[in-house]
Amino acid sequence: MTDAKKPWGGRFEKSPSAFLEEYGASLMVDRRMWAQDIKGSVAHARMLAKQGIIAQADADEIESGLAEVYTSIRDGEFEFRIADEDIHMAIERTLTEKIGTAGGRLHTARSRNDQVALDTRMYSKDASLELIGFINALRASLLHVAQEHHGVVMPGYTHLQKAQPVLFSHHLLAYYWMLTRDVTRMRHAYEAADVLPLGSAALAGTTFDIDRQFVADALGFSVVSPNSMDSVSDRDFLLDLAYACTVGMVHLSRLCEELILWSSEEFGFITMDDSYSTGSSIMPQKKNPDFAELTRGKTGRVVGDLTGLLVMLKGLPLAYNKDMQEDKEGVFDAIDTFSNGLRAMEGMISTMHVNTETMLAGAQGGFMAATDLADYLVGTGMPFRDAHEVVGRLVLKLEREGRTLQDMSTQEFVDADEAFGADAIEAVDIYGVVARRVSEGGTGNDAVLDQLVAARDALAVDVAWIESQHS
């Protein structure tokens, strides 16, 4: 028996079982695109009327009815039914119930294939802009903390072993520039989604004399898709968005790892704010960096979201296939997870307390002036490999004695090698070690001040771009 409720029911004598109906429905996932679906339908109806494909009176009824549906969903009064399959049919069904025959004309010259692609692209653009806003907020917090603590020295590490002293602000700015690249990736995802697919219909276009550019202008798309088959089957823009979220989460995870280490008793470089920490149910003394750990842990699921989308797309022939219904859930999860991670990280950075004296004390240990001491010997004419060996022997001796390079007297330097002079002590001064890194992009005071200016300028450019998209 034909199910008259289905938009495709005329061809069938049997309906799917209740189980299969629920199994095949995407409504509980794609319902979040309701605002984009309504906005796209309004533009489509206006175009149909302008082109004389439907009567203006019908278009007016459709727009009025869609406004009611919008209000109903926004206010939480809309009834979502699994039988509708997806948000597109849920809205069209409700519209037709409200306005009758005119509602049935809305789907003229379009398919769910290009309608789904339209909604997904619109949602992706909106999500990209929102994510860039959250990234910029975190960048601003990192920049503020870096400026506030300029001049604070800390140990720099390679292999998680103390390497050379750096400015704390220089270390934070490394993450700032990672996030700046995240903005670039997110802008690319926005631009990749900024192509109008509506008008491609199922896969071959439509026989109606539609005006795709009118719809593109109405919905804020920069260009119209050039190939109808590619248009309904392209999900590269979702891959770009998922990839941008994945790389961004990896960056957050790395920063979380630093905060977790720094807030431990062994490091003690920072103290996490109580509002971004939790305790133990059994150990009263504990203060755990749970939200940093959780963000680090959630990175895996976003990597999985990207992988799932890649695998789903890898063997699909043209054009649309039902597999593509699985394109949104993972991407929505990636968007939500990255968004929440950015908001949590911004709070952690902006509220943490920096223990500057502990950082400086850490920079005094680990023989981190050893390279500068070798460079000092090179300045006297000694080959670097010989200088490296001299300093290496000196470090071994001091390590056995439980002393540091800063503990040595001028005479001890001279006794270690005749190439050392009275100014050798200056070569191991931690502040001097940092200050001598004058190369562009280095950790020297002036170089970092220049970097702070460049960072402020870069953020201003990205904030202005966001504002231009909303205007």
User: Catalytic amino acids?
Assistant: 159, 280
Let me know the angle formed at the C-alpha of 297 by 293 and 298, rounded to the nearest 5 degrees.
120
The answer to whether the beta carbons of residues 319 and 117 sit under 8 Å apart is no
Distance CA 162, CA 353 (A): 22
Q: How far apart are the first and last CA of the chain?
A: 52
Phi-psi region of 159 (alpha: psi -120 to 50; beta: other; left: phi over 0): left
Distance CA 367, CA 399 (A): 9
User: Which residue pairs, CB below 8 angstroms and at least 24 apart, start in 378-384?
Assistant: 380/419, 380/421, 381/419, 382/419
Token pair, residue 470, equals 């909303």
**Mutual angle of helices 34-50 and 212-219, in 10-degree steps:** 140
- Secondary structure E strands in 394-466: none
Work out the number of other CB atoms within 10 angstroms of the CB of residue 100. 11
Say which residues have a Cβ less than 8 Å from residue 338's Cβ, sequence separation at least 6: 131, 245, 248, 249, 252, 302
Token pair, residue 227, equals 């190939």
| Beta-bridge mates of residue 156 | 164
| Beta-bridge mates of residue 155 | 165
Q: Please state the separation of Cα 212 from the chain's center in Å.
A: 32
Q: Please state the separation of Cα 431 from the chain's center in Å.
A: 36
Distance CA 273, CA 287 (A): 10
Distance CA 411, CA 394 (A): 14
Strands 353-354 and 270-271, sheet pairing? antiparallel
Strands 353-354 and 223-224, sheet pairing? unpaired
* Side-chain half-sphere CA neighbours of 120 within 13 A: 30
Token pair, residue 172, equals 């934070």
What are the C-alpha distances in Å from 298 to residues 92, 133, 239, 261, 337? 37, 21, 19, 18, 7
Q: What are residue 157's phi and psi, to 5 degrees? A: -125, 150
